[in-house]
Amino acid sequence: MAAPLLGMGRSALEQWAEQHGQAAFRGRQLHDWLYAKGARSLDQVSVLPKAFREQLASQPPEGAADWIGRSRELHRSVARDGTTKLLLGTHDGLSLETVGIPAEGRLTVCVSSQVGCPMACRFCATGKGGLQRSLAVHEIVDQVLCVREVMDQRPSHVVFMGMGEPLLNIEAVLAAIDCLCTDLGMAQRQITVSTVGVARTLPQLAELALQRLGRAQFTLAVSLHAPDQALREQLIPTAHAYPIEALLEDCRRYVALTGRRVSFEYILLGGLNDQPRHAKALAQLLRGFQSHVNLIPYNPIAEEEFQRPAPAAVDAFRRSLQEQHVAVSVRASRGLDADAACGQLRRRLEGSLEPVHSPA
């Protein structure tokens, strides 16, 4: 079945043009309009013959409203620090979040890989609504283009840390990474894939990345959030089927296959997993591992009573890990005045939106 053009590379677009009775150079023109100019519809691609555009408009591809495959902006929320969260509407009436996070000399785009999420992490607003479906390649790439368009800045980094579990959508995620690198000119080292852990998928991710991308240079970030299985199951109910020891063994296999270290994410929840004993247990768990720990102070959501950790507790946790020779950093909280936690904006506005194109 025909697919949207967004997500196709130059060679595929040349073949597509020839299959539709056009010269190959029309595919190269399309590539420029898709990725450099960010065209939202074929009507904007004025270099294509008008009759050809009209013919295509009457036969939209499967899985998109038109041949380009761009989404609609439903809502925009801009925080005081410039962090911009977009709620985007899909062709089938669903909504997803993407976020542009500006910093000095860089712009990071946090993209979603699914609409909703089946992992049901208690601290995450996205998981409260369950999974609706996985995103297609064009829907992932579109998020980066939307942030570039709204913020009028070229993204420097992309993190798969939005809605959904990327390892339950491996094929589309890897194809999107290929597109971001080959067609938008990003480097794999500027991309991070975050997972809460799905049994037996990390070695598969490594092998598929080597097959599809030629190398696996993106960063793998594994969400631990606890130093032991019992506490992890309290926070991540699906973890009962994937013991933390098995997860770490799969991480070691990933490192062996790719030669890349793993980054571990650890959300600090006030009074629950942010005490000195937790830091010591985490350091012991990761002993001998080629890794880095990224501490994330919790952003509260309405559905749970978890608390944001005290700054002193965050600093003490960080220092404890450093004293035990664990590489560690603390993620700066951004957009706290604009539904910062993943899935918050979507849940707050669900069912009450018409497309808009101005900041909230």
Whether 181 is a known active-site residue: answer no
- pTM, rounded to two decimals: 0.92
Region 76-104: mean pLDDT is: 96
- Domain CATH code at residue 120: 3.20.20.70
> What pLDDT does 126 receive?
84
By percentage, how much of the chain surpasses pLDDT 70?
92
CA dihedral 273, 279, 281, 287 (to 10 degrees): 140
Cite the DSSP H helix spans in the chain.
10-19, 24-31, 50-57, 137-151, 170-182, 202-213, 229-235, 244-258, 276-285, 311-323, 344-349
Tell me, yes or no, whether 78 lies in a domain: no
Taking only the tens place, the pLDDT of each residue in 319-354 is 999 999 999 999 987 665 545 555 555 555 565 555
Domain range enclosing 15: 1-70
Binned at pLDDT 50, 70 and 90, residue 2 comes out as: confident
Which run of H or of E encompasses 335?
none
CB burial of residue 241 (10 Å; 0-12, 13-18, 19+):
exposed
**Which listed residue (14, 97, 139, 265) is catalytic?**
97
pLDDT at residue 266 is higher than 80 = yes
- Domain CATH code at residue 66: 1.10.150.530
17 and 133 in one domain?
no
Whether 303 is a known active-site residue: answer no
143 and 61 in one domain?
no
322 and 208 in one domain?
yes
3-state helix, strand, coil in the chain (%, to 5): 40, 20, 45
**Which listed residue (117, 124, 181, 342) is catalytic?**
342
Taking only the tens place, the pLDDT of each residue in 178-215 is 999 999 999 999 999 999 999 999 999 999 999 999 99
> What pLDDT does 345 receive?
58
165 and 285 in one domain?
yes
pLDDT at residue 358 is higher than 50 = no
> What pLDDT does 307 receive?
94
Greater model confidence, 294 or 3 = 294
253 and 111 in one domain?
yes
Given a contact cutoff of 8 angstroms between Cβ atoms, the answer to whether 165 and 195 are in contact is yes
109 and 65 in one domain?
no
Binned at pLDDT 50, 70 and 90, residue 312 comes out as: very high
As for how many domains the chain has, the answer is 2
CA 7 to chain centre: 16
> What pLDDT does 357 receive?
43
Please tell me the least confidently modeled range out of 76-80, 267-271, 353-357: 353-357
Taking only the tens place, the pLDDT of each residue in 117-135 is 999 999 988 888 899 999 9
107 and 39 in one domain?
no
